C-alpha cells in the first residue's frame, strides 16, 4: 500500500504555491518569447522510437522511456523538444518560409540517476530558429536566453559561450581515434586524461581558454587553420551584437565548451547561476540535424530548465510570484444567492475571490480568510 502514496522514481509533485510560482515564471518567459516573434507549438508526449533516434549525436536510446503500441511499433517519451520540432518542421511546416521561429513549454522525460537538478521528468521552455545560418540569428537566441533568465527574476548568472569549430579545426588533421579521445576528454572536462594523451601542448590548452573578450585574442595565436579562425570571427561578431542587445556583461567565453561534437556545428552556450551546480540553460547551432529528417535546414536554439530556474530563484532570495487571493467571501445562512452574485461582480472586475461553500459565522469566516491566504474578508449578512 505504501507505493500508492509515492511518486515514481525521478518525478515530483508541485504543491499549490510551488505550482503557482512555476506558472508565473513560465508565463513571463513565454511572453518574452512571443515578443521576439516566436510561435508556440505543441507536439505529442510520445514519438516513434526511430524519430527520436534518427539524428546522430549522443547515444540516447538507453535514456528513453519506451513502450509499444497495438501494432507492436516501439514508442518513446520525448527526451527533449528539438527532435520533435525538427520532425514537425520538415513535415507539416515544410512549406512555411524561413525563418521558422518556434517556441515550446512542456515536460520531457529522460531515465537517469536522480541527482539534484537531474530528474526523470522535468520541464523545459525554449525556442528553435530554423532556416537562417548567421551570427545575427545566433546572437538573437543567446540574447533571448539571457533576457529570459532576467525576466524569471534572476540577476546573478553567466552565459558561457563557445564554438565547437575552434577545437574542431585544431584537431582535424589528427587520426580519427585520437580525435575521439581528445573530444571525449574535453567534453568530460577530464584534464588529466587530456594531458596524458600524445598531443601538442596547444591542444591541451583548449579547456583553459576561458574568460572575457580578451580570450579570443589569446585564442587567435593558437588558431593555425581557417576553420578555427572562422570560429573565432563568428564569436567576435556574436559578441558585438550581444553588446548592442545589452547582455554582453552576462557573457564569458569558454572555448573548451563543446557540449556534443557530433550534434553541434557552431556556437554553443550554457547558463549558470551562483549557488546552483548545474546549468540553467543550454543550446547552440545544429545545422546538420534536419538533414537526417530529409530536409537540410540551418538551425539554432536553446532550452531552459524550469525547475533549475526555480532552484536558482530560491538561492538568490527572489520573492515568490504566487499571488494571494484578493477576497475570501463568506455569508450567513440564507445569503447564498447574494454571495454568488457579489463574487461574480468582483471576478468580472479581475479579482480573485474564494467563496465559502457553507454558511459561517463572522469569526469562522475570519479564521478561514487567514487559512486560505486571502488578503481581505467580505462577509455577507
Cβ atoms of residues 266 and 163 within 8 Å: yes
How many whole angstroms separate alpha carbon 267 and alpha carbon 207? Answer: 16
CB atoms < 10 A from the CB of 279, how many?
Answer: 18
Cβ atoms of residues 161 and 235 within 8 Å: yes
CB atoms < 10 A from the CB of 108, how many?
Answer: 19
How many whole angstroms separate alpha carbon 18 and alpha carbon 194? Answer: 43
Residues with Cβ within 8 Å of residue 214, at least 6 apart in sequence? none
Instruction: Find where cell 585520437 sits.
Output: 178
According to the model, what pLDDT value does residue 344 have?
98
How many whole angstroms separate alpha carbon 79 and alpha carbon 11? Answer: 14
Give 349: exposed, middle or buried? Use CB within 10 Å, 0-12, 13-18, 19+: exposed
DSSP state of 369: H
pLDDT averaged over 10-residue windows placed end to end, the chain, 381 residues: 81 93 96 98 96 72 92 96 95 94 97 75 97 97 98 96 96 93 89 93 93 95 96 98 98 90 90 91 94 90 97 90 86 98 98 98 97 95 96
How many whole angstroms separate alpha carbon 85 and alpha carbon 93? Answer: 10
Q: Which residues pair with 106 in a beta bridge?
A: 124
According to the model, what pLDDT value does residue 260 have?
73
How many whole angstroms separate alpha carbon 116 and alpha carbon 308? Answer: 9
Backbone angles phi, psi at 24, to 5 degrees: -65, -40
Strand, coil or helix: 171: helix
Closest among 99, 98, 103 to 33, alpha carbons compared: 103
According to the model, what pLDDT value does residue 57 have?
43
Backbone angles phi, psi at 378, to 5 degrees: -120, 125
DSSP state of 347: H
Is the peptide bond preceding residue 99 cis, with omega within 30 degrees of 0?
yes
Rounded to 10°, the helix 226-245/135-151 angle is 40
Q: What angle do CA 76, 82, 83 make, to 5 degrees?
A: 45
How many whole angstroms separate alpha carbon 190 and alpha carbon 326? Answer: 54
Cβ atoms of residues 216 and 175 within 8 Å: no
Instruction: Find where cell 552576462 sits.
Output: 250
Alpha carbon of residue 311 to chain centroid: 14
Strand, coil or helix: 237: helix
Backbone angles phi, psi at 355, to 5 degrees: -100, 135
DSSP state of 210: E
Q: Which residues pair with 159 in a beta bridge?
A: 251, 271
Strand, coil or helix: 355: strand
Amino acid at each position: 500500500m505504501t507505493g500508492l502514496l509515492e511518486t515514481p522514481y525521478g518525478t515530483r509533485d508541485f504543491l499549490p504555491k510551488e505550482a503557482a510560482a512555476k506558472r508565473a515564471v513560465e508565463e513571463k518567459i513565454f511572453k518574452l518569447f512571443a515578443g521576439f516573434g516566436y510561435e508556440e507549438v505543441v507536439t505529442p508526449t510520445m514519438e516513434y522510437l526511430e524519430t527520436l533516434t534518427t539524428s546522430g549525436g549522443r547515444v540516447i536510446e538507453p535514456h528513453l522511456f519506451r513502450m509499444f503500441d497495438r501494432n507492436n511499433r516501439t514508442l518513446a517519451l520525448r527526451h527533449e523538444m528539438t527532435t520533435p520540432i525538427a520532425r514537425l518542421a520538415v513535415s507539416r511546416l515544410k512549406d512555411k518560409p524561413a525563418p521558422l521561429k518556434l517556441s515550446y513549454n512542456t515536460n520531457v522525460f529522460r531515465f537517469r540517476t536522480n541527482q539534484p537538478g537531474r530528474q526523470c521528468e522535468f520541464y523545459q521552455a525554449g525556442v528553435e530558429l530554423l532556416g537562417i545560418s548567421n551570427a545575427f540569428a545566433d546572437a538573437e537566441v543567446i540574447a533571448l536566453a539571457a533576457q529570459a533568465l532576467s525576466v524569471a527574476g534572476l540577476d546573478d548568472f553567466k552565459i558561457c559561450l563557445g564554438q565547437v569549430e575552434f577545437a574542431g579545426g585544431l584537431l582535424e588533421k589528427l587520426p580519427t581515434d585520437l580525435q575521439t579521445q581528445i573530444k571525449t576528454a574535453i567534453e568530460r572536462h577530464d584534464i588529466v586524461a587530456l594531458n596524458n594523451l600524445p598531443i601538442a601542448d596547444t591542444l591541451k590548452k583548449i579547456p583553459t581558454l576561458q574568460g572575457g573578450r580578451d580570450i579570443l585574442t589569446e585564442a587567435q595565436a593558437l588558431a593555425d587553420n581557417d576553420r578555427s579562425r572562422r570560429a573565432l570571427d563568428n564569436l567576435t561578431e556574436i559578441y558585438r551584437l550581444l553588446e548592442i542587445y545589452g547582455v554582453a556583461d552576462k557573457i564569458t567565453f569558454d572555448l573548451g565548451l563543446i557540449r556534443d561534437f557530433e550534434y553541434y556545428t557552431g556556437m554553443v552556450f550554457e547558463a549558470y547561476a551562483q549557488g546552483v551546480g548545474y546549468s540553467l540553460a543550454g543550446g547552440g547551432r545544429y545545422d546538420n540535424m534536419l538533414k537526417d529528417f530529409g530536409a537540410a535546414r540551418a538551425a539554432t536554439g536553446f532550452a531552459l530548465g524550469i525547475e533549475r530556474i526555480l532552484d536558482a530563484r530560491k538561492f538568490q532570495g527572489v520573492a515568490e510570484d504566487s499571488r494571494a487571493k484578493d477576497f475570501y467571501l463568506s455569508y450567513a445562512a440564507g445569503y447564498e444567492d447574494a454571495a454568488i452574485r457579489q463574487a461574480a461582480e468582483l471576478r468580472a472586475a479581475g479579482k480573485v475571490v474564494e467563496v465559502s461553500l457553507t454558511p459561517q459565522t463572522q469569526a469562522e469566516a475570519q479564521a478561514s480568510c487567514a487559512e486560505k491566504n486571502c488578503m481581505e474578508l467580505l462577509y455577507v449578512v
